[in-house]
């Protein structure tokens, strides 16, 4: 084997640290071999996706690790579960006993293994996470996209089991987005022709992300013409939508993201391979792509994909203050337990509950089909939710802004903000 | 005889099922039945269990290793998988299943030209050192 191993790597591989660490080392080396990596690099943080239940093999794997001496080498935080540990009623056991029991057990096993039980797809909203330049491991597509592009931490998109293996060994194959040259932009996507007024709206970043994902596929896009002081919530929307619509794992926004102070930096001195102009029509098309239902009576609103941030709660609270959602309409906000606690301290959760909303933690409405009344016509402000829900949940989706979602919930039917959609968008 | 690159090694033989489009092992295939369930897949409804499954590439999903390991656990997996574009997820899923259940599913990669040649055959045998040999058409009836 041409790969350089240190004494501990070799000891793990020889079984000196037990069968679990040997399996973990074998998985890391298998990935390195397929990637053609010449060396492993130390990683300092992992966001674990293997805690998402997809069958009993996942449970058996975690149990095997626990029973055979597995020890984490680095801090490892957990992605969403399929169920919520804090709100078991969201998906009652009777709805699917084997799945709910398995999912719950899996989450408990990763806690026992020493993972920090944050249960969120937006770990970058929590304090104490990775910083610029850190080599890390993540698997959740929106987190990979956000960490790489917005934070400037470096990760490939790690599949299940390999994410855990890297966290146990504390190393990853030195390949792809871990390397400088792997982060070079390839496509230029210009937004200069889009009116500045739209760029002040959060919904623009969902639509742009969807459009960018479709254009880029898995290539690294460089977006120019965005305002320099973009909010984390807008960049989250862009990161998530580009990842779900295309498979984008890394992107740059010139003057906004940390490896793109200039366009030349983003392309590492090379010329773009393709140049695309974003027009109002491309955004209107993105909006049509994300809406599968005609406007009409509304059954549910789903916010928080990826998980709602504290600043999003801050924007939502005044919109619902003193109002009531239409009787019979379900209004869900998905978030992490950490952010929910912080929002509760500020009184925002009580305001939302008075409005008629349910704030759920640890999981997401888009893979919890047993969520009450999750059928019919559903409105969301999240491009990622709108992209996946028709297929995964068999529901009809209307995509709109946060304010449109709230106003529609009050009226009990889809409402469009005439000011927002002026100018042909 | 064709020499493949071994992504996960093992011996296998079976009839060939060559897919016309990439398959994701999470969401597009049901490990409980071994059938392709993605309605957008041209071979939706086909059972991949026990076949030498050929596809040029997979459709990516971070949960694919779980789908692979679950299929091997339940005995619904292919006998082997032959790709052109090497895939980490299937190899990782196979390695985990072998450690947990002592059952395996070799995963191999070949050149595009070798792939086209192999896909012409009705049945194939795979040896532990990654050699792929055609078998007579009547080796695996049905």
List chain B domain ranges: 2-137
What number of residues does chain A have? 425
Helix (H, G, I), strand (E, B) or coil at A94: helix
Which runs of consecutive H residues, i.e. helices, occur in A217-336?
232-246, 263-266, 280-289, 310-320
Instruction: Report whether the peptide linkage leading into residue A306 is cis, meaning its omega lies within 30 degrees of zero.
Output: yes
Q: Which CATH code of 3.30.43.10, 3.30.499.10, 3.40.50.12780, 3.60.110.10 fits the domain covering A300-410?
A: 3.30.499.10
Instruction: State whether B92 and A162 contact (CB < 8 Å).
Output: yes
Of A30, A54, A57, the CB nearest to B100: A57
* Helices and strands counted in chain B (H then E): 3, 10
| 8 Å CB contact between A183 and A154 | yes
Tell me, yes or no, if A30 comes closer than 8 A to chain B by beta carbon. Answer: yes
**CA A41/CA A124 separation, integer angstroms:** 22
Comparing CA positions, the residue from A367, A359, A390 lying closest to residue A377 is A390
Q: Mean pLDDT, to the nearest integer, of B95-122?
A: 97
Tell me, yes or no, if A267 comes closer than 8 A to chain B by beta carbon. Answer: no
* Chain A residues with CB-CB distance to B88 below 8 A: 30-31, 34-35, 159, 162
Active-site pick, B61, B79, B127, B139: B61
| 8 Å CB contact between B92 and B116 | no
Please give chain A's pLDDT, 425 residues, in tens.
Answer: 579 899 999 999 999 999 999 999 999 999 999 999 999 999 999 999 999 998 999 999 999 999 999 999 999 999 999 888 988 877 778 778 888 999 999 999 999 999 999 999 999 999 999 999 999 999 999 999 999 999 999 999 999 999 999 999 999 999 999 999 999 999 999 999 999 889 999 999 999 999 999 999 889 999 999 999 889 999 999 999 999 888 899 999 999 999 999 999 999 999 999 999 999 999 999 999 999 889 999 999 999 999 999 999 999 999 999 999 999 999 999 999 999 999 999 999 999 999 999 999 999 887 665 455 567 899 999 998 898 887 777 788 999 999 999 999 999 999 999 888 766 55
pLDDT at position B20: 93
List chain A domain ranges: 7-181, 184-289, 300-410
Which tokens belong to B47? 């059972």
Q: A7-181 and A300-410 share one CATH topology?
A: yes
Q: Is the pLDDT of residue B142 over 70?
A: no
Q: Is the pLDDT of residue B99 over 50?
A: yes
Of B8, B67, B96, the CB nearest to A61: B96
| 8 Å CB contact between A334 and A410 | no
pLDDT at position A371: 55
**CA A156/CA A175 separation, integer angstroms:** 8
| 8 Å CB contact between A109 and A66 | yes
Comparing CA positions, the residue from A158, A191, A381, A173 lying closest to residue A291 is A381
Which tokens belong to B75? 């005995």
**CA A11/CA A13 separation, integer angstroms:** 5
Helix axis angle for A97-112 and A56-67, nearest 10°, is 30
* Chain B residues with CB-CB distance to A58 below 8 A: 66, 69-70
Residue of A nearest to B73 (CA): A57
Give pLDDT tens digits for B3-59: 999 999 999 999 999 999 988 888 788 999 999 988 778 999 999 999 999 999 887
pLDDT at position A390: 79
| 8 Å CB contact between A13 and A22 | yes
| 8 Å CB contact between A113 and A66 | yes
Comparing CA positions, the residue from A262, A167, A169, A246 lying closest to residue A208 is A246
**CA A421/CA A396 separation, integer angstroms:** 21
Helix (H, G, I), strand (E, B) or coil at B2: strand
pTM value surpassing 0.90: yes
CA-based nearest distance A23→chain B, Å: 8
pLDDT at position A370: 47
Q: Which CATH code of 1.20.1300.10, 3.20.20.140, 3.50.30.10, 3.40.50.300 fits the domain covering B2-137?
A: 3.50.30.10
CATH of domain A7-181: 3.30.499.10
C-alpha pair distances (Å), A253 with each of A224, A257, A370: 6, 5, 38
Burial of A228 (0-12, 13-18, 19+ CB in 10 A): exposed
Which tokens belong to B31? 């490990």
Comparing CA positions, the residue from A298, A299, A302, A312 lying closest to residue A360 is A302
């Amino acid at each position: 084997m041409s790969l350089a191993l240190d004494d501990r790597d070799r000891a793990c591989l020889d079984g000196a640290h037990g069968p679990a660490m040997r399996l973990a080392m074998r998985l890391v080396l298998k990935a390195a071999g397929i990637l053609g990596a010449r060396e492993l690099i130390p990683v300092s943080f992992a966001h674990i996706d293997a805690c998402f239940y997809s069958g009993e093999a996942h449970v058996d794997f975690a149990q095997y690790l626990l029973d055979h001496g597995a020890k984490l080498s680095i801090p490892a935080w957990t992605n969403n579960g399929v169920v919520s540990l804090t709100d078991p009623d969201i998906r009652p056991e009777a709805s699917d006993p084997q799945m709910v029991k398995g999912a719950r057990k899996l989450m408990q096993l990763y806690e026992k293994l020493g993972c920090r039980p944050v249960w969120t797809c937006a770990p970058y909203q929590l304090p104490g996470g990775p910083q610029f330049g850190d080599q890390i491991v993540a698997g959740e597509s929106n987190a990979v996209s956000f960490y790489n592009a917005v934070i400037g931490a470096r990760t490939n998109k790690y599949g299940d089991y390999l994410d855990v293996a890297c966290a146990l060994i504390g190393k990853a194959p030195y390949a792809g987005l871990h390397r400088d040259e792997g982060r070079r932009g390839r496509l230029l996507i210009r937004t200069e022709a889009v009116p500045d007024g739209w760029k002040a709206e959060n919904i623009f970043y969902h639509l742009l992300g969807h459009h960018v994902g479709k254009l880029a596929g898995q290539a690294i896009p460089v977006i120019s013409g965005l305002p320099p002081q973009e909010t984390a919530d807008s960049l989250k929307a862009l990161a998530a939508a580009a990842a779900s619509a295309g498979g984008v794992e890394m992107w740059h926004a010139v003057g906004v993201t940390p490896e793109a102070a200039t366009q030349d930096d983003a392309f590492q001195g090379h010329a773009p391979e393709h140049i695309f102009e974003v027009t109002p029509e491309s955004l209107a098309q993105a909006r049509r792509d994300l809406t599968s239902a005609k406007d009409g009576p509304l059954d549910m609103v789903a916010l928080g994909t990826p998980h709602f941030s504290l600043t999003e709660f801050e924007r939502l609270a005044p919109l619902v203050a003193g109002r009531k959602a239409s009787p019979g309409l379900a209004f869900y906000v998905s978030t992490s337990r950490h952010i929910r606690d912080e929002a509760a301290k500020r009184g925002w959760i009580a305001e939302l509950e008075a409005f008629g909303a349910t704030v759920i933690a640890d999981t997401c409405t888009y893979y919890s089909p047993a969520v009450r009344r999750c059928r019919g016509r559903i409105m969301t402000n999240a491009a990622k939710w709108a992209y996946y829900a028709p297929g995964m949940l068999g529901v009809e989706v209307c995509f709109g802004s946060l304010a449109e979602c709230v106003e529609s919930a009050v009226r009990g039917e889809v409402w469009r903000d005439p000011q927002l959609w002026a100018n042909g968008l | 005889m064709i020499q493949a690159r071994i992504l996960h090694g093992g011996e296998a033989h079976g009839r060939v099922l060559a897919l016309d489009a990439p398959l994701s092992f999470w969401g597009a295939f049901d490990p409980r039945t071994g059938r392709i369930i993605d309605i957008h897949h041209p071979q939706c409804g086909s059972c991949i269990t026990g076949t030498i499954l050929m596809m040029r590439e997979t459709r990516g999903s971070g949960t694919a290793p779980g789908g692979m390991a679950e299929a091997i656990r339940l005995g619904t997996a292919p006998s082997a998988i032959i790709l052109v574009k090497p895939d980490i997820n299937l190899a990782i899923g196979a390695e985990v299943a072998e450690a947990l259940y002592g059952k395996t599913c070799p995963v191999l990669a070949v050149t595009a030209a070798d792939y086209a040649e192999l896909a012409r055959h009705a049945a194939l045998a795979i040896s532990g050192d990654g050699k792929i040999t055609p078998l007579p058409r009547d080796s695996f009836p049905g």
